[in-house]
Structure formats: structure tokens, C-alpha cells
Amino acid sequence: MMEVLVGYYIFINIVGFIIMKVDKQRAIEHRWRIPELHLWGIALLGGALGAWMGMQTFRHKTKRLLFRIGLPFITFLHIGFWGYFLTA
């Protein structure tokens, strides 16, 4: 069970990282963008750390206050959840 959860968490964070890269590339090319609701959905499903890292790496959404505050906040909530889950 633990292996599945860790695997999921790794996978969803890779997705969060990649989705930021894809959205940034589409923004540069003036193409159809990934809706912010989808970006937030990935973050809430566990991909906040990957999305936050993607945001910093690709300098995407860094001027948006909600992303600058929200992604780190969700990341710390997930860290707290994992800390509680692993010690319970």
C-alpha cells in the first residue's frame, strides 16, 4: 500500500512539473493554454511540489500572487499530511 501511495505522489508531481512546462511553452507560442483550474486540480491532487518546482524552473505564473502563495501553501499542507500519515 505504501509503495502505491509513494508511486502516485511521485507520478503526480512529475505531471505537475510537466504541465507547467507545457503551459509555459504554449504561452510563448501564443497557443491554447491549459486552464488554471486544471493546474490547481493537479496541485490539489498531490502535485503541488512538482508544479511549484516547474513554476520556478520555467518562470511561469511567477507574477501571479495566488500561484506564488498557493502552491507553496498546498505543498506544506501535503508535507504535513505525509508527516502525520507516516508517523501515525
Task: Tell me what pLDDT residue 42 has.
Answer: 98
Q: Could you give the angle at the alpha carbon of 51 between the alpha carbons of 48 and 57, nearest 5°?
A: 140
Would you write out the chain's pLDDT as a tens digit for each of its 88 residues? 889 989 999 999 999 999 999 999 999 999 999 999 999 999 999 999 999 999 999 999 999 999 999 999 999 999 999 899 888 7
- Chain-centroid distance, C-alpha 34: 13
Q: Compute the distance between CA of residue 26 and CA of residue 5 in angstroms, rounded to an integer.
A: 31
Cell numbers linked to 16 = 505537475
> What is the Cα–Cα distance from 31 to 44, expressed in whole angstroms?
25
Kindly state the DSSP code that residue 61 receives in the 8-state scheme: S
> Taking the complete model, does pTM exceed 0.75, yes or no?
yes
Copy the grid coordinates of residue 11. 507520478
| Cα–Cα distance measured from residue 13 to residue 30, given in angstroms and rounded to the nearest whole number | 26
